[in-house]
Amino acid sequence: MLFARNVLARASVFVAFIALFVGSKTAAAAECSTTESGYPYTPPSITSVSPTSLVTSAGSAALTVNGLLCGDPFSPGVKIFFVKPGAGSPVLVGSVANGATSASVTIPAGQLDTLGTARVFAAASGEGNLISNDFPIQITPPPPILTNVSPSVVLRGTATSVTLSGTNLTPVQTFTFAPPGGPPSSLTPASASATSITVALNSTLLATSGAGTFTLATPNGSSTAGISIVAPVIASTNPTSLLRGMPSVTLALSGTNFTLGGTPTVRFTPPGGTATVVSHVGTPTSMSISVTIPSMLMTTAGAASITVQTGAATSDAVTISIDVPCSGHGTLNGTTCTCDEAYSGATCDACSADHYNYPTCIACTAAGTCSGHGTCSGTGECVCTSGYQGTDCSTVVVPDAGTPDAGPDASAGEPDAGTPDAGTRAPDASSTDPDPSNPGGVPPPSGTAPITVDGGDASGDTNDDEGCNFIHPSRERQPLAMIAVLGVIGLLAARRRRR
């Protein structure tokens, strides 16, 4: 009886120990669900992968596995396996701890060289066969990649064959070319392989300068590449202008794309004339050309133009001025100006000495034009000195006759000689009666008694002639003058009688 009790007690302890052990295992796996009995544990489960497909290649690739990656808590963890398309064997690509929700793994080199459907699964060791579901992943061909276009620069308006190089270029689904500013046009390649495509571009597609774009599409993606459509460009000329009637001259052109289509053709159009092909001097390069402009193309002044053509592409015209030689004031002798009279300078663009106001260049000298009484202004006109006037400064300025000479200084108390004394009556200019006492009007000699005027009213009015006895000074000299005249007349009469 005692023995039975001991057995039961020990059994109870064992059961309790087992229960404790099982409970501890169940608690440890609480992050992942279990069956009601606790065995076996729920296997790991994969719900998605990223990316959803991988490109076939000889290299490795990264992959993220998502899900509930549960396993035996007493096992080392959960392992991730990859199986390549076909009859491949599982390859361990990574592991995570129990209860993880994602795993980042690396697919090693050599596992992506076969197209098709690969699979990924997770497995956990321990009690039971803890293996996840298989999750499929596609191994696809790589997308096309265009890496080069030859030629990369083509001439405007010139039909051209172009070869594009790259990888994974086939199978071709669509192939288009979009000219500058235009819509894409579908093209049929002359040849196509996984590494190159050759296509012909007609002149219409290349009619505009700028950037054109190729687009290639395959079942696995698309790729683009560009080309430049150009024309020759004249950036500058040397010299920048020419002279009417000058001898033949070498004209240097600087620019780009001069020889892209072969030896360039240069055309010169004189003012009002037609385009004429001119000959090269030396060998043209892609950036420079020298040509000879003959004298017969420079007989008219005005705006000339020049163009460069290479292949079917022609540059925009550049204007070159053909100027009147010697500024229109001289004669061109070779390359030297002989200036007309009144002009000077290498191009007769200035006035010579004693000439003013270019371009009229008026002659003017101080001694000649201005009569020695002035100087020449910047416009060739005389600026007269004080006392002279007129365009040639030859007229003397005469003081105004109505203005009397300045008399004695009035401030000194001396009477003005030009102003009659207020108390003296002026002689009547209308009177023709000579003074019998001074018929010649001779002024009185020095020391003659002053003239007095009798009469006048108390107010001093001298205009009243009543009772006035006025004697003009000149009348006192008239008898002497009369005697002298009579004497001269008598002498002349005596000489006449003697003859």
More confident residue, 137 or 404: 137
Q: Is residue 310 domain-resident?
A: yes
My answer on whether 99 and 171 are in the same domain is no
Note whether 245 and 221 are same-domain residues: no
Is 38 within the bounds of a domain? no
Q: Final residue of a domain: which of 230, 264, 288? A: 230
What is the residue-wise DSSP string for 95-136? EE-TTEEEEEEEEPTTSSSS-EEEEEEEEE-SSS-EE---EE
- What confidence tier does 448 reach under pLDDT thresholds 50, 70, 90? very low
pLDDT (tens digit per residue) in 20-49? 333 433 333 345 655 545 555 678 899 999
Please check whether residues 156 and 123 belong to one and the same domain: no
Contact (Cβ atoms closer than 8 angstroms) between residue 229 and residue 203: no
Residue 394 forms part of a structural domain? no
Would you say 408 and 415 are in contact if contact means Cβ atoms under 8 Å apart? yes
Q: Does residue 113 have a pLDDT over 50? A: yes
Please check whether residues 222 and 163 belong to one and the same domain: yes
User: Is 240 in the same domain as 316?
Assistant: yes
Q: Which residues have CB under 8 Å from 307's CB, separation 6+?
A: 234, 266, 267, 275, 314, 315, 316, 317, 318
Whether 263 is in a domain gets the answer yes
Domain count for the chain, please give it. 3
**Do both 113 and 55 map to the same domain?**
yes
**Pair 118, 154 in one domain:** no
Q: Are residues 153 and 193 in the same domain?
A: yes
pLDDT in tens, 226-280: 999 999 999 999 999 999 988 999 999 999 999 999 999 999 999 999 999 999 9
Asked if 269 and 217 sit in the same domain, the reply is no
Within a domain: residue 30? no
Q: What is the CATH number of the domain that holds 207?
A: 2.60.40.10
Cβ-based burial of 326 (10 A; exposed 0-12, middle 13-18, buried ≥19): buried
Of 283, 301, 323, which residue sits at a domain end? 323
Domain boundary among 291, 323, 355: 323
Pair (109, 187) in one structural domain = no
Q: By C-alpha distance, which of 60, 105, 54 is closest to 79?
A: 105
Does some domain include residue 371? no
CA-CA distance, 213 to 223, in Å (whole number)?
10
> Is residue 255 situated within a structural domain?
yes
Measured between alpha carbons, how far is residue 135 from residues 72, 123, 128, 453 in Å? 21, 13, 21, 159
Q: Which residue has the higher pLDDT, 489 or 400?
A: 489
Containing structural domain, residue 304: 233-323
Residue 187 lies in a domain: yes
